[in-house]
A and B are shown apart, each in its own frame.
Chain A
């Protein structure tokens, strides 16, 4: 595309620049904050007194559910990614993220995901109303037939696609695009926080994606994963909480580590024990993948397991205790300036301490028998996620605002904001801790249990707290209109983002930043890769592909013809994207001798493919795990050969194994410049892949005729969902392969330049590996 004026609508729709996308994320997440905050106010009004009649039970359930889902997934994470998008490339001295178009697609998928979920409000039965945990089997069509839940599921799937793209993008960016001399340990705290966040996301989201996929299949196709008692409630809770606990740290890390940067700048001293803080956070991340059982203490899971989970959960408090103490030690001996960002930072630490301590209560299986499902829990997680995370993110927005806008804001109003925020906050959330025995998620409660006063206080606090947000927006608006120019480094920070203009030019730095051996950061003006080498670039395909996905889901759930329109748009967009060339125009110049440990030898795209495959491994692990879980839970299961033909499965296995051989032979050929071998290998791979799918289609048709239908039971549910997901991966591989074949026949791959063939192989062999397990699991055992 040609040059697009910077103040046009087209710029915002088609931009792929990380700073523009950061601003899109910021505006969108603040919009979702206001919407979900308004829902919370409705909830608080309803709970002011016992037996209020302001909301119906159904409206109340919708309000709390949408409030929870949106605050967690469409506000907290996106606002962290707003800052990450804007600040991380600046902090490591990169020109942009590694894959700018994928980054734009992440944003649009998130937005369209939010829209499709919100559409539920306008359908019969209303929006999703199951609580954000969406417990099974309440989430199945039998108990909740309204389309609102299916729409929310579709929204979640789009969000997960967005998250997967973002995680791959940020991992590759942070690992591969740091400027020369900026080792991992020298990176600013915030970038560290994002690195840990996306790594956790990569591993924690796939089980949830698997669960939502299974739920969507249950609701749309009629499979019975969550309806059958052998799967049902426990299967959902396992998958949900395996995601759910790391999710807490996914929401927390960007905020907690942004605090690190704010503390350093406003105390003028380095972080106390930066390595210790990072090591503690890594330990906490690893532990967070092993503690999901503490959300299931009262479900009657294995008692030994409950005790192990108690100990592990209490252990996880250790690293976070250490981080907080290190932050407090950071203050010692400093020269502390209590400016607005610092006030919010200190406030956030204090509130997080309280939330962390109440969390230790909940780690105890004994206490959990009493507090599970009560307002105590509501108080606890609002202290961590609002008090800890949101307050810190407000600090971070104040801190980087002058960089993003180029203007300062009113210190006086900032302090007023802080005061009202804290007063409202404490009146709102402290009383919830006194409601240790009041059930949560009830739209009404009886008088006479001592719950009246604390509910009234919380509602009053909610309105004071709500008032602090318009003040915040007013401060930002006034700053944009008439704030003092900020200059490059208004707070006196050390890190790279403060060395360029505010706001930075599209290419970020007029020159090449480097960190020399003495730790000094210089912006060299070497002509090698001069600042202006990177031009702005726009692409319409991220938004059209996301829109297409939106339409396809909408059609599948509500009105089929819409899906056809979506499919056509998708095809057109993918062709358009392919025509743009997969990497040529959007190549972000890398610093000539950038710091790339530990992936010095792994090319950018290849690293991205590997990172993607890691998340795919966890996705298929979750699907296979669900199958094993229901199988071991079921009294009866068809014997090998009873439903599925072993011969058929074996034939498909040989087909897929052979297709891996032809794929790798194609690569071997192009490596020595043998074009014929390349084309033959690719074509053979394509034909074998197609044969695999055709054979599957015949097989599905046959077993369907014999009564093994989607809804015929758990064996069918497990088989169709797991092998269906695998088949979809084969099909997606064939689409990419078609592009590669077309390029190969135009002579697009040479002895020197054939990396796409290699990276496609990585994916194709991975899909083969999955089948290597699916075949015995479904056909032979």
Chain B
């Protein structure tokens, strides 16, 4: 298996964005849950612990507690964390949505239950698509019946296949080999087996296959 970074620029960028979220998320989660646990243990009722000065009493509306300043501080902390990751998202989304030039365009039609691929020269394949390594391939994805999602499983990327609408997604990878394409939106009883093979070939082999018209 190739590593994520070798697969495709958008996959590696996606993975590093995910890792960024994961790091910040883990740190935040650990800090906040620790605060919860530490405060629970620290202020546990033990023999000798006194009631707080503003302790609640039966039949008495509780006193007010907390300040606006504290609220603003909390808001700023949460907002600051979110701001950092939003910037990462914006950079990645542009890469995903704007494919580079010089590309192979393949039309993809999802149907119950399989995938049909049409090449620029009119060549059609079903449940198997071959692309050249090292080149940008753009898939124009639609559906002939119900709502599907065209997911390139190892590449961790995909887009919805919707009747009457064409969505695009691109990859480019240096690594020849066989990968999995799978439907990721429930589309009926055949959903789990609505898969196709993505075969990445060396450019010369691809050229021979593409122009040869053989199987």
Q: A-side interface residues toward B, CB under 8 Å? A: 56-58, 61, 129-131, 133, 135-138, 143-144, 186, 229-230, 232-234, 264-265, 267-276, 298-300, 303, 306-307, 310-311, 314-315, 317-318, 321-322, 324-326, 328-338, 346, 349-350, 353-354, 357-358, 360-361, 364-367, 369-370, 372-374, 436-437, 439-445, 449, 489, 492-494, 498-499, 515, 519-522
Q: How far is the CB of A674 from chain B (nearest CB, A)?
A: 50
Q: Which listed residue (B32, B112, B157) contacts A328, Cβ 8 A?
A: B32
Once the chains bind, are A298 and B158 in contact (CB under 8 Å)? Answer: yes
Q: For residue B63, which residues in chain A have a CB less than 8 angstroms away from its CB?
A: 270
A268 to B50, CA, bound (A): 11
Residue B146 lies at the interface, judged by CB distance under 8 Å to chain A: yes
Q: How far is the CB of A253 from chain B (nearest CB, A)?
A: 19
B78 to chain A: closest CB distance in Å?
A: 4
- Known contacts A366-B89, A372-B184: does B39 contact A498 (CB below 8 Å)? no
Report which of A136, A265, A269, A367 forms a contact with B18, defined as CB distance below 8 A: A367
Q: Check if A439 sits within 8 Å of B151, measured CB to CB.
A: yes
Please report the C-alpha to C-alpha distance between residue A392 and residue B163 in the assembled complex, in whole angstroms.
41
> B43 and A336: CB pair below 8 A?
yes
| Complex CA distance for A358 and B85, rounded to whole angstroms | 13
Cβ of B7 < 8 Å from any Cβ of A?
no
Q: Which 9 A-B pairs have the closest CB atoms?
A: A229-B164, A273-B66, A373-B184, A442-B192, A270-B62, A519-B61, A321-B78, A366-B92, A300-B167
Number of interface residues of B (CB under 8 A): 87
What does the 1/0 interface line of B47-79 toward A look like (CB < 8 Å)?
A: 001111011111111111111101100110111
Min CB–CB distance A609 → chain B (angstroms):
32
Task: Please report whether the interface of chain B is mostly helix, strand, loop or mixed according to DSSP.
Answer: mixed
Q: A143 to chain B: which residues have CB within 8 Å?
A: 112, 145-146, 188
Bound form: Cα–Cα A557–B69 in Å: 59
Chain A residues with CB under 8 A of B96: 366, 369
Can you name the residue of chain A whose Cβ is closest to the Cβ of B188? A138
User: In the complex, A494→B63 CA distance in Å?
Assistant: 11
Q: Are B93 and A269 in contact (CB under 8 A)?
A: no
- The reply to whether B147 and A268 form a contact with Cβ atoms under 8 Å apart is no
Find the B residue at minimum CB distance from A137: B146
Query: Known: A269-B55, A365-B93. Is A138-B187 also a contact (CB below 8 A)?
Result: yes
Residue pair B51, A522 in contact (C-beta under 8 Å) = no
Q: Which of A136, A229, A360, A367 touches B14 (beta carbons < 8 Å)?
A: A367
Give the distance in Å from the alpha carbon of A442 to the alpha carbon of B186 in the complex. Answer: 8
Are B66 and A326 in contact (CB-based, < 8 A)?
Answer: yes
Q: Say yes or no: is B124 at the interface (Cβ < 8 Å to chain A).
A: no
Q: Considering the chains assembled together, what is the distance between the CA atoms of A306 and B97 in angstroms?
A: 11
With A369-B14, A437-B153 in contact, do A232 and B164 touch (Cβ < 8 Å)?
yes
A270 and B65 form a contact (CB under 8 A):
yes
A714 to chain B, nearest CB (A): 12
Stretch at the interface among B21-29, B126-134, B205-213: B21-29
Asked if residues B62 and A314 are in contact (CB atoms below 8 Å), the reply is no
Instruction: State which of A264, A273, A314 has its C-beta within 8 Å of the C-beta of B82.
Output: A314
Any chain A CB within 8 A of the CB of B123?
Answer: no
- Residues on A with beta carbons closer than 8 Å to the beta carbon of B40: 331, 336, 338, 346
> Given A276-B68, A357-B25, are A57 and B157 neighbors across the interface (CB < 8 Å)?
no
Q: Would A57 and B33 be within 8 Å (CB), given that A310-B89, A322-B74, A494-B59 are in contact?
A: no
Instruction: Assess whether A357 is in contact with B28, with CB atoms less than 8 Å apart.
Output: yes
Closest A residue to B166 using CB positions: A300
Q: Across the two chains, which residue of chain A brings its CB closest to B70?
A: A273
A212–B102 alpha-carbon span in the complex (Å):
46
- List of B residues within 8 angstroms of A303 by Cβ: 97
Contacts of B14 in A (CB 8 A): 366-367, 369-370
In the complex, chain A residues whose CB is within 8 Å of the CB of B169:
369
- Do the beta carbons of A136 and B65 come within 8 Å of each other? no
CA distance A267 to B45 in the complex (A): 9
A443 to B188, CA, bound (A): 11
Q: Cβ of A233 and Cβ of B163 under 8 Å apart?
A: yes
Asked whether A314 lies within 8 Å of B85 as measured between CB atoms, the reply is: yes
**Once the chains are docked, how many angstroms separate the CA of A274 from the CA of B28?**
23
Which residues from chain A contact B159 at a C-beta distance below 8 Å? 298, 300, 369
A363 → B minimal CB distance (Å) = 8
Does B162 sit within 8 A of A, measured CB to CB?
yes
Q: Is the CB of A436 within 8 A of B93?
A: no
A315 lies within 8 A of B158 (CB) = no
A130 touches B186 (CB 8 A): yes
Say yes or no: is B17 at the interface (Cβ < 8 Å to chain A): yes
10 pairs across A/B with beta carbons < 8 Å?
A268-B56, A307-B93, A325-B32, A326-B74, A357-B25, A364-B93, A366-B92, A373-B149, A439-B183, A444-B192
Interface contacts beyond A366-B93, A367-B18: sample of 18 additional A-B pairs, CB < 8 Å, sorted by A:
A61-B189, A233-B164, A271-B66, A274-B66, A314-B82, A318-B79, A322-B71, A326-B66, A328-B32, A333-B52, A336-B45, A353-B29, A360-B82, A361-B21, A364-B93, A436-B156, A443-B191, A493-B56
Which residues of B have CB within 8 Å of A346?
Answer: 36, 40
Q: Is the CB of B78 within 8 A of A317?
A: yes
- Given A311-B86, A360-B25, A366-B92; A269-B151 close (CB under 8 Å): no
Instruction: A229 to B58: give the CA distance in the assembly, Å.
Output: 61
Of A269, A350, A365, A443, which is in contact with the most chain B CB atoms at under 10 Å from its CB?
Answer: A269
Whether A367 touches B89, Cβ cut-off 8 Å, given contacts A229-B164, A350-B33, is: yes
| Alpha-carbon distance A365/B92, docked complex (angstroms) | 9
Closest Cβ of chain B: how far from A301's Cβ, in Å?
A: 10
Given contact pairs A300-B160, A360-B25, A307 touches B43 in the complex (Cβ within 8 A): no
Q: Say whether, besides A267-B43, A317-B82, A443 and B36 are in contact (CB < 8 Å).
A: no
B90 within 8 A of A: yes
B165 near A335 with CB under 8 A, answer no
User: Closest approach, in angstroms, between the C-beta of B55 and any C-beta of chain A?
Assistant: 5
- Write out the residue numbers on chain A whose beta carbons fall within 8 Å of the beta carbon of B66: 271-274, 276, 326, 329
